[in-house]
A = this chain, B = another copy of it.
Amino acid sequence: MDRRNTHQKELILKAVSGKGIHLTAEEIFQSVRQEDPRVGLATIYRNLNLFTQQGLIQKIEGPGWSCYDGNPVPHDHFHCVRCGQVVDYPDEYNPDMDNAAGQKTGGKILFHSTTYEGICESCLADENQAASG
């Protein structure tokens, strides 16, 4: 199937791609709508799926949340359970883990993903302020 470049794809890709960009489908929808209010939600999903398949972006998920990461290179994440923000965790992806896992399980490992759940620095500050105030 040959692919065509469209206005919509450009807008969506521009909204979602980039290092450190972590947006939900709904956020991407809102963002794209600001540029062109005629774009439909189905188009957002269709293209996010397409971009994910093509390896231009990746979808990351955890307990009760999910978002699209504009950086397709696998890396770890930190998710704040309070504000919901997702940030890249500053560590190198370790391919040795995949090799080791392949040998241990006897299967073929494609990749792994590590997600830290916790409370981010700024939310911690908010909580301390609320406790003392």
Contacts and interface: CB of A to CB of B under 8 A. Distances in A.
Interface of A: 59-63, 78, 80-81, 87, 89-91, 97-98, 101-102, 104-121, 123-124
Q: Assembly of this chain: how many copies?
A: 2
Contacts of A61: 61-63
Given A59-B63, A61-B62, A108 B114 contact: no
A112 B114 contact: yes
Nearest to A105: B78
B105 A89 contact: yes
29 contacts: A60-B63, A61-B61, A78-B107, A78-B109, A80-B107, A89-B101, A89-B104, A90-B104, A90-B105, A97-B114, A97-B116, A101-B116, A101-B118, A102-B118, A106-B120, A106-B121, A107-B118, A107-B119, A107-B123, A107-B124, A109-B116, A109-B118, A110-B117, A110-B118, A111-B116, A112-B116, A112-B117, A113-B114, A113-B117
